[in-house]
Amino acid sequence: MVITKSRLVLGATAVTLSTIAVTSLGIHSRGQALFKASPKELVDEVWQVIQRQYVDGTFNQVDWQAVRKEYLSKSYSNPQDAYKSIREMLKKLEDPYTRFMDPQEFKNMQVDTSGELTGIGITISQDEKTKQLVVIAPIEDTPAFKAGILAKDVILKIDNKSTKGMDTNQAVSLIRGEAGSKVTLTIQRNGQTKQFDIKRARIEIHPVKYSQKKTPAGNLGYIRLNQFSANASKEMQTAIRDLESKRVAGYILDLRGNPGGLLFSSIDIARMWLNKGTIVSTIDRQGEREREMANGRALTNKPLVILVDKGSASASEILSGALQDNKRATLVGTQTFGKGLVQSVRPLEDGSGLAVTIAKYHTPNDRDINKHGIDPDVKVDLTDAQRQDLWLNERDKLATLKDPQFAKALEVIGKKIAAQGTPTAEK
């Protein structure tokens, strides 16, 4: 498997609740279909893709040949019948990340990489064990974020409709809607049930925010990366170059609440910090590996601390894992979300799309972080109340000494700067 910018490769598929369907890792495109497949041909096309590409050669202990026989023996009078059967067929794999998208859902997903959303701005996934819909993270400064939705919240109801047995596509169709309209989410958090009335909006995401900070540890560059969207690497490059021109002594990279994004974006950004070494390896069902490496073009070698939490997922885990394993950065915060599966997204003949789990990814030290996540080097826990106060009610404290995780990051980077004898003031 080769990961390139011309192929949509998803790591730890997440669903962005807006007009967008998937927080993706990569881009795959193919020309317009030359003909429209019949409903039965579409069912078989999906079966064939799974047969060729699915990561588990046993198909999660499912007799995949028998499944083909079962579903091709049915009659289909319209595409909707086929779509229903395809979803039933894929459910047999018990893999929430392998999923079918009808033409509108697939079109919505393709818009995701543009960095513009219409919706409430959260990414969700389906828990592999409980099958519950779980929030990976709200996107910063979106309606869901401002309403108080937090990472790991369980969505029990959408507009009073139970989510039991509901997949992510169904959830998206219920939560998505016109800008200005409202949706009500019933959330379970730490055994308590909460209700949130959220107004949908058009959202423009600028993935990188940065500033120069004069701190007790010295003149530092603070960079907050919200999402690995198509323009994230360009904005990151601009941030690093600007802060380098200000002669900062070190950097704090904030990945807290970053649910992931484009794989090539995470690799590009890793190369800005890492001069040599492996960034990530993917392993397919034959056990074959494809490695992405640093290319000797790092923009800085200054000390680096990365802030992570349970909302840091997917591409965030690739970046933080790469820099941690290569001893390029120290991670401060809490255990990350734990999404280490890779999906390839491809269009089908009728304009619909299919996300298929084709591989898993490992960090440079061969760590499989799926379900477990990445452990920080320095653990600093926050209660949900602290997190909500910090990120919602008292935002002026974020990335200051009143932010416990940031304060610890300052302490850590101060020691790193002192150990390297790096200048601590702008010249």
What is the set of active-site residues? Answer: 314, 325, 339
Q: What is the DSSP string of 323-344?
A: HHHTTS-EEEES------EEEE
Task: Report the C-alpha dihedral over residues 309, 314, 318, 323, rounded to 10 degrees.
Answer: -20
Find out whether 70 and 356 touch, Cβ atoms under 8 Å. Answer: no
Please, what is the angle between helix 232-245 and helix 263-273, to 10°? 20
Q: How many residues are listed for the chain in this entry?
A: 427
**Helices (DSSP H) in 78-229: which residue ranges?**
79-91, 103-111, 143-147, 168-175
CA dist 261 and 24 (Å) reads 5
One-letter amino acid at 68 equals: R
One-letter amino acid at 82 equals: A
- Show the tokens assigned to 95: 């893999």
- How far CA 100 is from CA of 46, 104, 110, in Å, comes to 9, 11, 14
